[in-house]
A and B are shown apart, each in its own frame.
Chain A
């Protein structure tokens, strides 16, 4: 079976002033469809850079990145925007919703950028919001929603394009632990429905929701293990 994500000898070097920083030294990994993967690492480990590369927000300095068999390592800005729009659903630590738009419009936005007709995209956005149990909050603006609700709007926005992967960056970082558990429950559910999920985190508890943990240190994959004692939805530790 073809992997969704195939990284081979990915290297990412930043030039900061006169100093070269090797954020990713040599990373190779594969992620298959319907995997639930956590990427862990301390700050400065390169995990953020890895996430940016995986999310097509940034291109590697060298190496091969195939997304669904398509080489994205040297795509231009517009092609990358298209991949982000159609294939990747982002969930951020700080939610990153548009403050002046209501929940529905926030969820519709990726569909607007893909050029979908209004009636269709409204229907899909409403469906996605219902999916995250926010059908009654569609016309609320982010500041009228709780943190957990905001993150669920963000999840709905990530889901609405039916992307190949959902890429979550510290999705519970700005939530209290109870709400965090709720959001992780939502990810478990989405995974059970067949989605491919990648969660970037530094919290062991969060990572243990996943099937597989990839640990990054000094720009390299330190370990890549299957989780034996998964935290399952509804089971509290």
Chain B
């Protein structure tokens, strides 16, 4: 068959399909319902996964891939592990110093502890802020950018100076009309001088990262000694490609300083971003699996529906098939005609599905930062056409093989 012949047949087939669909509007739309549901579910799932991974990537990039968190608990441990690790020794400044002094593969290291405190400046106050004790290197470890002023220095950190760096929203709340730099704020009953404001960070796992203030940790421990939780050690590795070595080095230092017997399990955890990614991939995989199952099921139902209606259509149009064959339509011509009709029907379902799911994706956008990716639209339409062609094959083949004499006799 020449390509031009094929093109004419496709064009003729499209014309016939539109006539057929227009002639049976209600039937066509009802038939495509399964496809519509399938396409709605596949596009919404695609959109949701896109949104989740986008917001997750934003989150994770805040943690920093090269930062290790030495903590009492592992981030993703089972309930049993958690019970067992409750009696572990706290991490303290002595262990931090051991890490700082003995580590050879570290770019920066800071202890970190925190508590919820009220903050006050003149008549303005805020209750729900978190005061965090860190050292001067935390600006590197935490990847902080300064909005104004500076982070506290090593001298200030070591000298227990009463200085504080404000998070973005804290500064906004307490100093709506003036610069906070150099002002004295009250944290609990203690006074601190503001030396800087951190640039806006947004939220992470639902926590507002800008609703916090940073103090030198020694100062923090002196003044808020009721904090019994111990601390974490945040470590930025010198070389991200050498993260495993850094981890091993940290393990060695901590096992020694915490007196872990040889052969005994670690009584601390070294957490990292990687664990988030793994967990997310698992969750994303489960969601995708469920979505795929729903999609496959509804597309299957949709395919059966289309196959059924195409059989009806072929039977109804037996005479037409006979006429077409009598005036020279080949088997392949009839086959292509009905395949196109079936594909057009399914495509109609796909388009309706996208029209329905687009506003729904805007709803999802209220929760997750996402929009329906164009690739998902393309895939959805591609799937519809494929379903149409596959489910149309048997009916189309029946039409193509009809005996013209029999078909012409049909009323």
Contact = CB atoms under 8 A, between A and B. Distances in A.
B328 A86 contact: yes
Contacts of A192: none
Nearest to B322: A96
A8 B326 CA distance: 24
A156 B337 CA distance: 24
Interface residues of A, number: 26
A26 interface: no
B53 to A, nearest CB: 48
A157 interface: yes
A82 B325 CA distance: 10
B320 interface: yes
Contacts of A85: 327-329
Contacts of B240: none
Contact of B8 (A55, A58, A98, A115): A115
B23 interface: yes
A55 B4 CA distance: 27
Contacts of B8: 112, 115
Contacts of B404: 57-58
If over half of B's interface residues share one DSSP class (helix, strand or loop), that class is named, otherwise mixed; here it is: helix
Interface size range on B against A: 20 to 34
A86 B4 CA distance: 18
Nearest to A51: B405
B161 interface: no
Nearest to A92: B408
Contact of A114 (B23, B320, B325, B328): B328
B274 interface: no
B323 interface: yes
Given A78-B331, A117-B4, 20 more contacts: A57-B325, A57-B326, A57-B404, A58-B404, A82-B328, A85-B328, A86-B328, A92-B408, A96-B322, A96-B326, A98-B320, A98-B323, A100-B19, A109-B327, A110-B328, A113-B333, A114-B328, A115-B2, A115-B5, A115-B8
Interface of B: 2, 4-5, 8-9, 12, 19-20, 23, 319-320, 322-333, 403-405, 408
